[in-house]
């Protein structure tokens, strides 16, 4: 069976049990502050388990893209080394939301594996929760009994809390689980050691394939458990592991999920999989990581320096680094695998095909820049070694290399050992630990239990129609973090406050009771589909009735920026073309930011056209046309734009201004005239193929004009030429140019004098007239000086260095006859020495220059120059 067929078989089986197949949620989390990436199939259904929302149907099944590289589930370091953990993998699941429970879940899992898929029963083991004194829980005898009806007793194994009690996090829904393990070893091996002894012992051929979680408790802040009002089933089966079993191979990497990628890696890197452990690990790491990175980018998460983007960057760098060291890849190559990946996966996940160009460009650019970092890191490491007092390199130095330059620590260790040095690994670990604690302290949040005042169903958002309404507090809890301090999260029965989402910031405002009891709302966010309001202090009487009032000014400005963002999107597609797709958006009350796919810089003329287009729509005074609950497909058919990496329900809200129509949950102006005016304030690159536009509207635009007028007034005053400031500036520039030329001439004269001094310093080394020195000249002066010396002396090798405006410059002159006879090349000299000043350059064999950003490296460059003539 191909992996495609296996996936469909799974769905078909559960469809037969009245389950609805639903799509995978994006792998990158958008509105859950506790998670960066989806790490289990249940993430997208958390809101149902928490009771924040009612599911439309009580039985669903899907294949969820998961990523386990951060937080509670982090398999990154294992990946590639073993054969059955991935960073990104598919989790097949079936769910019951308050519908069936243990009996059906267990029976169906067994039926699917042993009857439908024909897996040998003698290779399967199952576990059940043995109980925990700490939690006052007895063993899950119900699960045990159910298993006993279908599985021989000696294949049912009790399991501890670590393996057999599933928790979403420190708090929240949880419950006992039953795992299904498979033994894929050969008959002989099984005869020697029974599989039962290897279950949950990290054996690569006795692995867990499926986990059936029975959600029946809620873990409270004090660690105690309470029974959930309804009981749920949440199962997760590793798709790649299931393929391994059904395709009769011993490693996930030998299934058709991975073999096409591995063949491609072998071809590109000219290596062979299955011959040498080190190479094999590298090949697996690359085959695995390209999937994680490609799908994250397709989901809208670009590699970056912070948060989720940084995690993605680190995964890609791990792959690059394995290719660099073990497959000898010094040029970008991972991006070339995206084509194979797309061909293989687009049927199940179409986004990988539609976003292919972007994915390829982004990966290639990341590869280029990291390979450059590796090069520079190698030079830095040379410097560290050169300055080392003994043969042991301190952990702090290695950490600096790792932290500041992203240079992988295992590579540092490898190079050091090759050169006969050792690394103080303990010291490094200490530094790493310190850094982890710093960031943990900065982001850790403690949450109290909800104090429930009123039982209530879904909290309705009424903020599209009103900014003021009467509310009651349904529940609240204390939250505390280093960043925000002590706060309360408050939930109302209904709310006019817009929760941060779709790039738009959350509303601020206050709630007030009749007798003046006030609490200020400083932010509003969505957490598992619940709208939570943040306040520093609760009102005195939380059970009272309150008037909830949204800060009108902030909302008015934010709405103007959000509507302008839609018009900007439309303008970009009109002016630049239909390839423009939204890749990120931030709508604040004082400005907006819009990231989109486009292959080149947007020219000033294009920017002007975009700005004009938006302002024309503003002047047309287009009214807002809003459809709140239309079926998704209908909205798309009517021409609405949907975003990649966004999770939409069956019904959506469509927002239209004239020809612009988007699926959007944000708040908007009633008429485009309310935007007043649109000004683009910046255009820049975010990544390969992604541009960013920043802009302002309304009050900020008004302020912009006032400030510009003030600056202009001031310029006129300074120039003392009220009538024609432009003319005054032009004449100042002309004067400046003349002065510059005079300075240049003076500097050249100075260079001529220098020539005599330097001639006296020439050394004779192996018949070469050699000089490497620092001079105080600009780039033109340095060149003149070198050529002038070249005219006067034969067999000359000169390296001149200078520092200008904080940058370093090297110039190398080699007499033509030397360049020929001794195989010396000025271009090569500056390229190699350029590393010491953190830069590069080039030129001809007899004359070349290099610039760099590290003047501190000049002495070393001068010193190393000598080696070329020795």
Q: State which residue, 75 or 832, has the beta carbon closest to ligand ATP.
A: 75
Q: State which residue, 210 or 326, has the beta carbon closest to ligand ATP.
A: 210
Q: How far is the CB of 177 from ligand ATP (least distance, A)?
A: 7
Please answer whether residues 7 and 33 qualify as being in contact, where contact means their C-beta atoms are separated by less than 8 angstroms: no
Q: State which residue, 291 or 397, has the beta carbon closest to ligand ATP.
A: 291
Checking 536-544 for CB contacts under 8 A at 24+ apart, the result is 536/485, 536/486, 536/487, 536/488, 537/488, 538/476, 538/488, 538/490, 539/511, 539/513, 541/513, 541/517, 542/453, 542/473, 542/476, 543/453, 543/472, 543/473, 544/513, 544/514, 544/517
Ramachandran angles phi, psi of 66, nearest 5°: -120, 155
Q: How far is the CB of 161 from ligand ATP (least distance, A)?
A: 13
Grouping H, G, I as helix, E, B as strand and the rest as coil, residue 338 is helix
Which residue has its beta carbon closest to ligand ATP? 238
Q: How far is the CB of 234 from ligand ATP (least distance, A)?
A: 10
Q: How far is the CB of 68 from ligand ATP (least distance, A)?
A: 5
Q: State which residue, 160 or 446, has the beta carbon closest to ligand ATP.
A: 160
CA trace torsion 829, 830, 831, 832 (10° rounding): 60
Q: How far is the CB of 46 from ligand ATP (least distance, A)?
A: 15
The angle subtended at Cα 334 by Cα 330 and Cα 339, nearest 5°, is: 145
Checking 451-455 for CB contacts under 8 A at 24+ apart, the result is 451/475, 451/476, 451/477, 453/542, 453/543, 454/493
Q: State which residue, 177 or 679, has the beta carbon closest to ligand ATP.
A: 177
Please answer whether residues 790 and 815 qualify as being in contact, where contact means their C-beta atoms are separated by less than 8 angstroms: yes
Q: How far is the CB of 94 from ligand ATP (least distance, A)?
A: 13
Q: Closest by alpha carbon to 287, among 138, 124, 105, 79? A: 79
Annotated binding site for Zn(2+): 562, 566, 664, 668
Q: How far is the CB of 117 from ligand ATP (least distance, A)?
A: 14
245 by Cβ neighbours in 10 Å (0-12 / 13-18 / 19+) ranks as buried
Grouping H, G, I as helix, E, B as strand and the rest as coil, residue 131 is coil
Which residues lie near ligand ATP (CB under 6 A)? 40, 68, 75, 85-86, 89, 91, 207-211, 236-238, 240-241
Can you read off the two tokens belonging to residue 229? 């009002």
Q: How far is the CB of 432 from ligand ATP (least distance, A)?
A: 23
Residues facing residue 535 across a β-bridge: 488
Q: Closest by alpha carbon to 24, among 51, 61, 68? A: 61
Q: Closest by alpha carbon to 661, among 675, 634, 633, 642? A: 642
Q: Position of tokens 């709405």?
A: 559
CA distance 64 to 26: 8
The angle subtended at Cα 2 by Cα 8 and Cα 283, nearest 5°, is: 120
Q: How far is the CB of 406 from ligand ATP (least distance, A)?
A: 24
CA distance 870 to 868: 6
CB atoms within 10 A of CB 210: 24
Q: How far is the CB of 238 from ligand ATP (least distance, A)?
A: 2
Annotated binding site: 562, 566, 664, 668
CA trace torsion 838, 842, 846, 849 (10° rounding): -50
How many residues appear in the chain? 870
């Amino acid at each position: 069976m191909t992996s495609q067929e296996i996936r469909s078989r799974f769905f078909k089986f559960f469809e037969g049990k009245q389950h609805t197949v639903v799509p995978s949620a994006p792998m990158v989390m958008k509105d859950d502050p506790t998670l960066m990436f989806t790490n289990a199939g249940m993430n997208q259904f958390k809101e149902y388990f928490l009771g924040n929302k009612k599911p439309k149907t009580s039985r669903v099944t899907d294949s969820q893209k998961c990523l386990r590289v951060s937080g509670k589930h982090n398999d990154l370091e294992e990946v590639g080394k073993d054969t059955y953990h991935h960073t990104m993998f598919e989790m097949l699941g079936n769910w019951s939301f308050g519908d069936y429970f243990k009996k059906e879940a267990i029976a169906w899992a067994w039926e699917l594996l042993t009857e439908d898929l024909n897996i040998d029963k003698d290779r399967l083991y199952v576990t059940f929760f043995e109980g925990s004194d700490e939690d006052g829980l007895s063993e899950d005898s119900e699960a045990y009994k159910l298993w006993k009806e279908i599985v021989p007793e000696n294949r049912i194994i009790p399991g501890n809390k670590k393996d057999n009690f599933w928790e979403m996090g420190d708090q929240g829904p949880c419950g006992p689980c039953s795992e299904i393990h498979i033994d894929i070893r050969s008959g002989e091996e099984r005869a020697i050691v029974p599989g039962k002894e290897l279950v949950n012992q990290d054996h690569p051929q006795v692995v867990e394939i499926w986990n059936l979680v029975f959600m029946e408790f809620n873990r409270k802040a004090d660690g105690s458990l309470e029974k959930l009002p309804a009981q749920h089933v949440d199962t997760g089966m590793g798709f790649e592991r299931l393929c391994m079993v059904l395709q009769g191979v011993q490693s996930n990497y030998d299934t058709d999920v991975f073999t096409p990628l591995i063949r491609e890696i072998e071809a590109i890197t000219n290596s062979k999989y299955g011959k040498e452990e080190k190479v094999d690990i590298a090949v697996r790491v690359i085959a695995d990581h390209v999937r994680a990175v490609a799908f994250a980018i397709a989901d809208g998460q670009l590699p970056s320096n912070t948060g989720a983007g940084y995690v993605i960057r680190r995964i890609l760098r791990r792959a690059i680094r394995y290719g660099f060291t073990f497959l000898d890849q010094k040029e970008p190559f991972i991006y070339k695998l995206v084509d194979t990946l797309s061909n293989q996966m687009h049927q199940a996940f179409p986004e990988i095909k539609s976003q292919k160009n972007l994915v390829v460009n982004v990966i290639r650019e990341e590869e280029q820049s990291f390979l450059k970092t590796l090069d520079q890191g190698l030079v830095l490491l040379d410097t560290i070694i050169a300055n080392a007092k003994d043969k042991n390199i301190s952990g702090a130095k290695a950490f600096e290399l790792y932290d500041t330059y992203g240079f992988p620590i295992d590579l540092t260790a490898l190079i050091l050992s090759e050169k006969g040095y050792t690394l103080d690994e303990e010291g490094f670990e200490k530094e790493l630990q310190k850094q982890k604690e710093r960031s943990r302290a900065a982001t850790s949040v403690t949450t109290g239990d909800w104090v429930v005042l009123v039982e209530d169903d879904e909290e309705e958002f009424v903020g599209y129609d009103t900014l003021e309404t009467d509310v009651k507090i349904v529940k609240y809890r204390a939250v505390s973090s280093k960043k925000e301090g002590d706060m309360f999260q408050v939930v109302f029965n209904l709310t006019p406050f817009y929760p941060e989402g779709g790039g738009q910031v959350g509303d601020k405002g206050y709630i007030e009771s009749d007798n003046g009891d006030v609490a200020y709302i400083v932010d509003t966010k969505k957490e598992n589909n619940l709208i939570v309001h943040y306040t520093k202090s609760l009102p005195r009487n939380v059970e009272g009735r309150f008037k909830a009032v949204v800060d009108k000014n902030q909302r008015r400005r934010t709405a103007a920026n959000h509507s302008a963002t839609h018009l900007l999107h439309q303008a970009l597609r009109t002016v630049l073309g239909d390839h423009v797709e939204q890749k990120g958006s931030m709508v604040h009350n004082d400005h907006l930011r819009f990231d989109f796919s486009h292959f080149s810089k947007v020219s000033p003329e294009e920017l002007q056209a975009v700005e004009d287009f938006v302002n024309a729509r503003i002047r047309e005074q287009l009214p807002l046309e809003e459809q709140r609950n239309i079926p998704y497909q209908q909205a798309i058919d009517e021409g609405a734009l949907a975003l990649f990496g966004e999770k939409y329900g069956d019904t959506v809200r469509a927002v239209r201004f004239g020809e612009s129509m988007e699926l959007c949950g944000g708040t908007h102006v009633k008429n485009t005239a309310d935007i007043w005016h649109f000004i683009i304030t910046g255009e820049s690159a975010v990544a390969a193929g992604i541009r960013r536009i920043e802009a302002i509207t309304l009050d900020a635009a008004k302020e912009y004009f006032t400030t510009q007028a003030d600056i202009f007034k001031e310029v006129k005053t300074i120039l003392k030429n009220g009538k024609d400031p432009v003319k005054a500036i032009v004449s100042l520039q002309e004067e400046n140019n003349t002065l510059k030329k005079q300075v240049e001439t003076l500097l050249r004269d100075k260079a001529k004098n220098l020539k005599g001094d330097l001639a006296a310093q020439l050394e004779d080394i192996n018949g070469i007239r050699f000089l490497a020195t620092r001079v105080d000249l600009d780039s033109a002066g340095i060149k003149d000086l070198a050529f002038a010396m070249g005219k006067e002396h034969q067999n000359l090798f000169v390296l001149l260095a200078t520092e200008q405006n904080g940058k370093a410059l090297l110039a190398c002159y080699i007499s033509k006859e030397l360049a020929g006879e001794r195989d010396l090349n000025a271009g090569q000299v500056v390229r190699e020495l350029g590393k010491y000043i953190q830069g590069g350059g080039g030129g001809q064999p007899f004359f070349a220059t290099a610039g760099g950003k590290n003047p501190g490296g000049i002495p070393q460059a001068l010193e190393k120059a000598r080696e070329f003539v020795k």
